[in-house]
Amino acid sequence: MNLKPVLGDWEIPHIQSIHSLENRSFVEFKIPGSVGSLFQDMNTDPACIAIGGSLFGDETRNEFLEELRGKFREGEPVTFIGDIVTATDLQYVIIETLQFEENGLNPDQMDYYIRIKESPPPPPPPDPLGGLDTDLLDQAGGFLDSATSALDLIDTLGSVPDLGNPVEPLTGLVSEFESTTEGLPDVLASLTTILGEPEG
């Protein structure tokens, strides 16, 4: 055993034996009057691995039981590494069976049996944004950046000079125009007298 089996991040101690069972499922179709059958391949069943060993001493036993039973209660897929799964696609397993045995003839010894079964990888963590359209978030972020840039530009300009009331110069121009054109009706009346009334 070159590589000690590791379940998750826990190296399984004091292993005495390890067995692997791999099975492929087929559906058999019998052909009347013919020797042999046709088989439809239903792919492989989940691989099973059985690990057995022995522990000695109360402290070692208690640490082992706490670690292993904690993983068993969680029921979550965990990684498995070992020489026995070389050349397979097995990556994740679940702990299916735990068995422990103590004997009065060996009071300091506890024998254990662990059966693990191949499992697909756990699902990815949920997306905290849910189904929110990320394009809207990008647009909102761009708008916020633009507004921030505009505020920074105003700060760099410093104080804007007071241009005053633009209506006052226009009022003076209107008054000057009225003074200039004030005598225009008298001039037009004199021209009418000299030139006569226009013919209708």
Q: Is residue 128 part of a domain?
A: no
**Most confident range, picked from 72-86, 144-158, 186-200:** 72-86
Judge whether residue 53 has pLDDT over 60: yes
Question: What band does 166 get if pLDDT is binned at 50, 70 and 90?
Answer: low
User: Which DSSP state fits 72?
Assistant: H
Q: Do the beta carbons of residue 55 and residue 13 sit within 8 Å? A: yes
Q: Is residue 177 part of a domain?
A: no
pLDDT value of residue 62:
93
pLDDT value of residue 193:
66
pLDDT value of residue 40:
94
Question: What band does 121 get if pLDDT is binned at 50, 70 and 90?
Answer: confident
Give the start-end residues of each E strand in 147-190: none
CATH number at residue 17: 2.40.30.200
**Most confident range, picked from 4-8, 172-176, 179-183, 184-188:** 4-8
Q: Is residue 137 part of a domain?
A: no
Q: Is residue 72 part of a domain?
A: yes
Query: What's the average model confidence in pLDDT over 176-191?
Result: 66
Cβ neighbors of 54 (< 8 A, separation 6 or more) are 14, 16, 109, 110, 111, 112
pLDDT value of residue 4:
85
Q: Is residue 129 part of a domain?
A: no
Query: What's the average model confidence in pLDDT over 112-117?
Result: 97
Q: Do the beta carbons of residue 93 and residue 77 sit within 8 Å? A: yes
Q: Is residue 42 part of a domain?
A: yes
Task: Quote the number of domains for the chain.
Answer: 1
pTM equals 0.60
Q: Is residue 66 part of a domain?
A: yes
Q: Is residue 144 part of a domain?
A: no
Cβ neighbors of 14 (< 8 A, separation 6 or more) are 53, 54, 55, 56
Full residue range of the structural domain in which residue 89 is found = 6-28+38-119
Dihedral, CA of residue 56, residue 14, residue 90 and residue 120, to nearest 10: 20
Q: Do the beta carbons of residue 56 and residue 127 sit within 8 Å? A: no
Token pair, residue 184, equals 């225009």
User: Considering the chain, what is the average pLDDT of its residues?
Assistant: 81
**Integer CA distances (angstroms), 49 to 85, 104, 119, 149, 186, in order:** 9, 29, 12, 62, 121
